[in-house]
Amino acid sequence: MAVIYQQRGEYKEAVKAYELALDIGKSIGSKNIQAMYLGNLAALFGFQGQRDRELLLHHEVLELSKTMGYNVGQVLSLMNIGTWHLEHGKYEAATSQYDQALEIARLHNLKGHIPMIKLNEGLILHYQNKLFDAKTRLESAIELALEIKSKPIEDYARRYLGFVLLDMNNIEEAKNQFNLAKTIAESMGSKVSLASSSIGLGTINLMNNGDRKLLNQGIEGARNIGDNEVLLKGLICLVRQLKGEPANENEVKNLLKEASEVAKKGGYLCDLPIIEELST
């Protein structure tokens, strides 16, 4: 029932259902059940913007996984904690968590988790403006994703490699990555990925010929599905192209206001310095 409540947007009822299942897990002494529902609660609190509660629960899952000797659970928890720190702009702490996850994954031959760790490391390097290192790490993530035949990770890595290449002014290769990601997104039927690749390709269209139709479609798509990460990327890309023209001053101001609100509400504090810089 908890999943149904969550899908309906009835989050209070979903929390109650997850907590009931958690209590049952505790009463019968099942650490597996406890870890599963604590993880579900963590994801739900994160989605609601209750990021501090989310982090506490990820740590609880990590400790339970350690006591059970559950290596996959440890890797996933460390990745979740690392992502929390990444999204809060705490890059050293995020890198530390990903390094620990990578060590466990390699030690226990958990190849399926390594591409996503590499991808997240690439995101950190991008935020730190270490573009060449970010490019190298994302290319590694793509190669590893191809080895394990993970379309979602390949798609994610190609999209973000595209944005890194845009910042490096390598427009043609960026376009190639976005088109490859779009093809994968279409094969998976992923609205999130299609919105993101549309933002990348739309940014290139705006740069090349002033056509912002595709970029607007990508932004609107992200708004409609409620994906704050992709929406922020689109708003920032659009502002970067419009900024500096007096005729765009009011629109830029409104876009930055929306971006700031989305970043705070969604817990993407790593984007606030970028938004503040664009506001000056």
**Residue 155 CA to its chain's centroid (Å):** 12
Residue 15 clears pLDDT 80, i.e. is over it: no
**Contact at 8 Å (CB) between 24 and 31?**
no
pLDDT over threshold 60, residue 109: yes
Query: What is the model's pLDDT at position 191?
Result: 92
Give the pLDDT of residue 103. Answer: 98
Topology adopted by domain 1-68 = 1.25.40
- The stretch 20-47 carries a mean pLDDT of 81
**pLDDT category of residue 154 using cuts at 50, 70 and 90:** very high
CA separation for the pair 231, 101 (Å, rounded): 28
Structure tokens at 137: 């790490």
User: What residue spans define the domains of the chain?
Assistant: 1-68
Q: By three-state DSSP, how is residue 52 classified?
A: helix
Residues 6+ apart with CB under 8 A from 124: 86, 91, 94, 95, 98
